């Protein structure tokens, strides 16, 4: 879908609202309290979004309630456009670029961007990597060369990528491996308990792990009942073995360096969330934008209204 087609599809608030309604209740309205399916639409004064009132029990529901769209003062059409721009731009969109393109104050687009990133991060947390997984750690950031900025300390991250292969003999067919899904997690340090917590959250048990043999992966692989294949970083084969995870790291670095200039692990993790979300759905083309709306609809309410 092109930008023009997207704008035609979501040309006004009613079209956007109907889309959210259809995603929220794909089988039609169902009352959360009594399961009734008949409803009235009630337009309250002073509110832009209507509420849907169950005809049987009077329970009221509004589609964006409890999500990042709740209490928004920004038109849904603008939200949808921001979602499209963020989803389809492979290099990512900064809040500043969004501000220029949407003609909104920077503070507004910063919050929109922040909330959409939060939705991507929440979505990513639903999945664990299984099967053949490359695992490594990497440092992002580092010392700034700019005389205008304070030098920044490099921040540690744990990176994993599930590799899909065409044959059951995983290693033998590595050359034909197809990149699959990845995770990136910003961590305060690379101590064993920290790394193990990440692996617990992000990697399934009983897989096959490819690592450089760092002690933490050796013991974590045992705890995960994973088959562990070690290639030392000094091994001439290392470059080929860690080919895909290295590509993820360098792509993520290019993206982070281009769009993220702040400090702090929480902020960095939101950027990782956005990068990972796009990376793992890169085969969807512009279809990723529809998915991102659904992810936003499934996300939790944010304490700051936009
Ligand atoms: Zn009801």
Q: Taking 80 as the threshold, does the pLDDT of residue 52 lie above it?
A: yes
Which domain range does residue 89 map to? 3-125+287-297
- Tell me the mean pLDDT in the region 138-167: 68
Same domain, 235 and 276: yes
Q: Ligand 1 center to residue 32 CA distance, Å?
A: 7
Q: Ligand 1 center to residue 63 CA distance, Å?
A: 15
Same domain, 34 and 158: no
**Does any domain span residue 304?**
no
Q: Taking 50 as the threshold, does the pLDDT of residue 44 lie above it?
A: yes
Same domain, 35 and 154: no
Q: Ligand 1 center to residue 59 CA distance, Å?
A: 5
Same domain, 136 and 267: yes
Same domain, 144 and 9: no
Confidence of residue 244 (pLDDT cuts 50, 70, 90): confident
**Does any domain span residue 303?**
no
Confidence of residue 245 (pLDDT cuts 50, 70, 90): confident
**Does any domain span residue 151?**
yes
Instruction: Go through 110-132 and write b for each residue having 16 or more CB atoms within 10 A of its CB, e for each that does not.
Output: bbbbbbbbbbbbbbbeeebbeeb
Same domain, 182 and 247: yes
**Does any domain span residue 56?**
yes
Residue 194's CATH number? 3.30.420.10
Q: Ligand 1 center to residue 29 CA distance, Å?
A: 10
At 166 the pLDDT is 56
Q: Ligand 1 center to residue 304 CA distance, Å?
A: 30
Q: Select from 105, 103, 24, 11 the least CA-distant residue to 70.
A: 24
Q: Ligand 1 center to residue 57 CA distance, Å?
A: 4
pTM assigned to the model? 0.85
Q: Ligand 1 center to residue 42 CA distance, Å?
A: 15
The per-residue pLDDT for range 226-241, each reduced to its tens digit, is 999 999 888 888 888 8
Same domain, 101 and 224: no
Same domain, 108 and 44: yes
Number of domains in the chain: 2
Q: Ligand 1 center to residue 38 CA distance, Å?
A: 8
Q: Ligand 1 center to residue 53 CA distance, Å?
A: 8
Instruction: Go through 11-47 and write b for each residue having 16 or more CB atoms within 10 A of its CB, e for each that does not.
Output: eeeeebbebbbeebeeeebebeeeebeebeeeeeeee
The per-residue pLDDT for range 165-219, each reduced to its tens digit, is 655 454 544 555 566 889 999 999 899 999 999 999 999 999 999 999 999 999 9
Rounded distance between C-alpha atoms, residue 214 and residue 194, angstroms: 14
Same domain, 85 and 198: no
Rounded distance between C-alpha atoms, residue 36 and residue 23, angstroms: 18
Same domain, 90 and 217: no
**Does any domain span residue 254?**
yes
Residue length, the chain? 306
């Amino acid at each position: 879908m092109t930008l023009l087609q997207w704008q035609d599809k979501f040309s006004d608030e009613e079209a956007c609202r109907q889309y959210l309604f259809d995603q929220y209740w794909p089988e039609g309205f169902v009352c959360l309290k009594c399961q009734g399916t008949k409803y009235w639409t009630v337009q309250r004064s002073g509110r832009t979004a209507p509420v849907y009132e169950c005809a049987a029990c009077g329970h009221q529901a509004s589609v964006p309630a409890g999500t990042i769209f709740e209490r928004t003062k920004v038109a849904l059409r603008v939200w949808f456009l921001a979602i499209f721009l963020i989803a389809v731009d492979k290099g990512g969109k900064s809040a500043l670029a969004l501000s220029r393109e949407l003609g909104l104050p920077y503070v507004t687009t910063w919050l929109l961007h922040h909330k959409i990133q939060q939705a991507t991060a929440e979505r990513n947390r639903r999945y664990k990597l299984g099967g053949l997984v490359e695992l490594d750690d990497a440092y992002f950031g580092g010392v700034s060369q700019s005389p205008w900025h304070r030098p920044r300390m490099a921040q540690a991250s744990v990176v994993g990528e599930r590799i899909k292969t065409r044959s059951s003999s995983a290693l033998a067919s590595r050359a034909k491996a197809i990149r699959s899904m990845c995770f990136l997690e910003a961590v305060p340090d690379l101590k064993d308990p920290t790394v193990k917590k990440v692996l617990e959250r992000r990697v399934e048990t009983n897989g096959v792990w490819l690592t450089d043999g760092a002690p933490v992966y050796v013991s974590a692989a045992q705890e995960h009942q994973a088959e562990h294949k070690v290639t030392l970083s000094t091994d001439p084969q290392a470059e080929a073995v860690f080919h895909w995870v290295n590509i993820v790291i360098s792509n993520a670095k290019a993206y982070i360096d281009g769009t993220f200039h702040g400090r702090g692990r929480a902020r960095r993790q939101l950027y990782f969330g956005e990068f990972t979300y796009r990376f793992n759905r890169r085969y969807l083309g512009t279809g990723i934008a529809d998915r991102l709306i659904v992810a936003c609809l499934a996300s939790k309410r944010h304490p700051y209204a936009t």
